[in-house]
Amino acid sequence: MQAAREMSKSSVGTVVRRLGSAAAPVLLPTVGLVFVIAAWWAATALLDVLPIVLPPPLDVWESLITRTDFLLQEAGVTIYQVLIGYALTVAGGLAIGTVIASSKVVDQMVSPWLVALNAIPKVALAPLLVVWMGFGREPRIVMVILLCFFPIVLATVTGLTSTPTELVELSRSLEATRWRIFIKIRYPHALPHIFVGLKVAMPLAVVGSVIGEFRGRGGLGQIIVQAPSSGSTDLAFGSIVVLSVISIALYYAVVGAERLLLPWVRATVS
């Protein structure tokens, strides 16, 4: 009887621990968000900060509710630019990374210039892109590409060049062609590295779109720039909140794709 009770308590404890582990990814960020909002409200209330400088959370929430349609419309512009630029960068970054990883000559010739391009402050290029391409979506998409390009290329090259030597030698001993080694050995081994670059690049894509919108028409970035000048700082903060939600959603979409396409990676990591 005593043994049965102990087994029952053990099973209940196991269930509680499992439920706690499953709920932690949701509960802990929620608790952190509550602390941030509480500190924000305390700063505006106790320090007597002017709403034009830092609006209280309730004002931002009210702007989100009353201007929902407007914010969603502008968010759609931003999301479109992010997705188009990100997709183009993934396709081009994987292709260029593959070429660099497959040839030491190309690596030595191209890599220093990629580093130099990445070192250029992208904000400084925004006015030039507007001059070259106008005020449409093209300069914003190019800005997304500029910010996402280097992480994806770097992750691709790192993954393709980190294949264990013994696997490559074994493939060659079985008379596998260089192309088959890339497809069957190098790329599967490189996919975890590539997804690291994809996850790093996704929030940068949102940043790139917003930077491009500072100089154009439409999008959440334009609201952030123009709203404070008209006394609507709460609307600017509301746009920032929407951008944060978009970044989180897109990032975890990439995480979900990684778990769906690479289930074996999660199974081999403790």
187-235: per-residue pLDDT in tens?
Answer: 888 888 999 999 999 999 999 999 888 876 788 888 888 887 777 888 9
pLDDT for the residue 268: 56
Answer whether residue 142 shows pLDDT above 60: yes
- Note the Cα 24 to chain centre separation in Å: 22
Domain assignments of the chain as residue spans, ordered by start: 1-49, 55-267
Average pLDDT rounded to a whole number, residues 234-256: 92
Q: What is the pLDDT of residue 45?
A: 81
Whether 2 shows a pLDDT value over 70: the answer reads: no
Is the pLDDT confidence value at 106 over 70?
yes
Assess whether pLDDT exceeds 60 at residue 175. Answer: yes
Q: Return the pLDDT at 266.
A: 65
Mean of pLDDT values over 60-77: 90
The most confident of 96-110, 168-182, 241-255, by mean pLDDT: 241-255
Mean pLDDT, range 100-128, rounded to an integer: 84
Tokens read off for 263: 């289930």
Mean predicted lDDT score pLDDT of the chain: 82
The 3-state secondary structure of the chain reads: CHHHHHHHHHHHHHHHHHHHHHHHHHHHHHHHHHHHHHHHHHHHHHCCCCCCCCCCHHHHHHHHHHCHHHHHHHHHHHHHHHHHHHHHHHHHHHHHHHHHHHCHHHHHHHHHHHHHHHHCCHHHHHHHHHHHHCCCCHHHHHHHHHHHHHHHHHHHHHHHCCCCHHHHHHHHHCCCCHHHHHHHHHHHHHHHHHHHHHHHHHHHHHHHHHHHHCCCCCCHHHHHHHCHHHCCHHHHHHHHHHHHHHHHHHHHHHHHHHHHHCHHHHHCCC
According to CATH, the superfamily of the domain at 55-267 is MetI-like (1.10.3720.10)
CA atoms of 237 and 59, how far apart (whole Å): 9
Contact 246, 75 (CB under 8 A): yes
- pTM here is 0.84
Residues in the chain: 270
85 confidence band (pLDDT: 50, 70, 90):
very high
